[in-house]
Structure 1
């Protein structure tokens, strides 16, 4: 891994990335000089925790595999950042209104992220997972659909395809020629799919069709415009509990975070001030 010089990295956004690191309020464990100090900059300590956060931010998944020289380079980078920050304070920049707002937002974001991470670390017991499994998988019919789809960039393109189909063109051949979607080389056939594996609008339209029918109107999605055909439907066995455990945990986590935010909003005293726009 080649670590660019700090002067280059700063212009490329390192300072913005650093704003995602926890802000020190002067009372944290990391500000204690006894907490494995790896450098001091004009008597200001840089701790091992600070360095590890910086390394993780810069190297990501490669962080554990960095060489000693690469870690040293990142330590020097952090030292230079501290030198620049001290110089900025000497010039009174820490009192600038915009800088104060950025620091407050940075601290707010770090605290919010840490609180949500704490929620993510709280495990779910098997009883909750099994209850959701029954609700979402075991106790409801599990249908899969074999479709063909043609993905186009515009509604006009989709309507042109529909005109060709009305004139007797073969759906699979049109998909091979024009579709930008999955399975285009197989005539627009992505294989058997559950409804939650399709774009919502596509799934809704497919469920309105009988096998052999295609949609006579283009279907708009965030990916583009679809022309879709239903080939067949089958009832499949629900997936095994262990196969969807991760999905169930993600569903419960989503419910937990939404409930947590809802409770905070209900308990909080929030007022929004909007500037009226003159006509």
Structure 2
């Protein structure tokens, strides 16, 4: 599954001028850091050379850095709050000084600001789309649909002893037939370092978790019995089947992050394919690959 990393407006700063149809929502050159945008219900937490930094700026930045969960509140008493606020103050001081030096009028600066604005707008579009398509209702529906399709069959719980040659395997098989303790022999004789200290215990496994020769013997051996020695690419084995059960279904909580990742990637691909199909795109150089990783927007949190 693709790891997707959403960018938010708070992780980039912009000194660009935006215009709108309502005067109260207009950002102008005299208010380059959102001073002209209405912040209903937001709290001012710092003032830097006449410009404001708001609580939502701190929370959004902390979330983008992975310091808090998206939507979690912050209070001035928290260490994370002060750390992020200090960063935003430093960032604002640098930006204001850049404006005083008219660096925003430089051609390279304008190109970079334009690119940042383009990324932010694209990511906001994706975020709004995902709010409607990847939510608790659709995630639960996907889990339920997949649950009806899953059939993991049975699981076997077994111990095994791995040995170098057939002669040694036959000798161990005779000792087991005479009543020797399987776990004790596994600790003493098994070549499998991963299970030896656990008395050869492999836990529960399904038919697709080991090579076919091994699982065929395991699933053919009745519960409580020991298999005859058999050979695989790793050496000679003796198995003791301890239990057999129907493979449990993973819970919604266990599957949720995987479903979110899959649905997020799928929805981003869908919206990109749709926009490419509807858009007027003319290639002037090179070859575009529709649906490749190269056309994914960057994203921030993927659960």
TM-score (norm 2): 0.51
Counterpart in the other structure of 1:114: 127
Return the index of the structure with the highest Cα Rg: 2
Q: Distance in 2 between matches of 1:76 and 1:246?
A: 37
Q: CA deviation at 1:54?
A: 2.8
The structure-2 alpha-carbon separation of the partners of 1:144 and 1:91, relative to structure 1 and needing over 3 Å to count, comes to: farther
Counterpart in the other structure of 1:144: 155
Matched, 1:60 2:68: yes
* Aligned counterpart for 2:95 among listed residues 73, 80, 85: 85
Counterpart in the other structure of 2:168: 168
Q: CA deviation at 1:47?
A: 1.9
Q: Distance in 2 between matches of 1:175 and 1:19?
A: 61
Q: Give 1 or 2: higher helix fraction.
A: 1
Counterpart in the other structure of 1:76: 86
Matched, 1:273 2:286: yes
Q: CA deviation at 1:142?
A: 2.2
Q: Distance in 2 between matches of 1:64 and 1:207?
A: 53
The structure-2 alpha-carbon separation of the partners of 1:79 and 1:231, relative to structure 1 and needing over 3 Å to count, comes to: same
The structure-2 alpha-carbon separation of the partners of 1:103 and 1:74, relative to structure 1 and needing over 3 Å to count, comes to: same
Describe the SS at the equivalent of 1:273.
coil
Counterpart in the other structure of 1:3: none
Give yes or no for contact 1:133–1:248 (8 Å, CA) kept in 2. Answer: no
Q: CA deviation at 1:250?
A: 5.3
TM-score (norm 1): 0.54
Q: Distance in 1 between matches of 2:189 and 2:9?
A: 47
Q: CA deviation at 1:80?
A: 1.1
Give yes or no for contact 1:33–1:47 (8 Å, CA) kept in 2. Answer: no
Q: Distance in 2 between matches of 1:79 and 1:108?
A: 25
Describe the SS at the equivalent of 2:53.
strand
Instruction: Give the superposed CA RMSD.
Output: 5.1
Q: Distance in 2 between matches of 1:105 and 1:205?
A: 52
Q: Distance in 2 between matches of 1:87 and 1:51?
A: 21
* Gaps in structure 2 of 5+ consecutive residues: 1-6, 26-32, 173-184, 219-226, 288-303
Give yes or no for contact 1:215–1:229 (8 Å, CA) kept in 2. Answer: no
The structure-2 alpha-carbon separation of the partners of 1:96 and 1:123, relative to structure 1 and needing over 3 Å to count, comes to: same
Give yes or no for contact 1:147–1:189 (8 Å, CA) kept in 2. Answer: yes
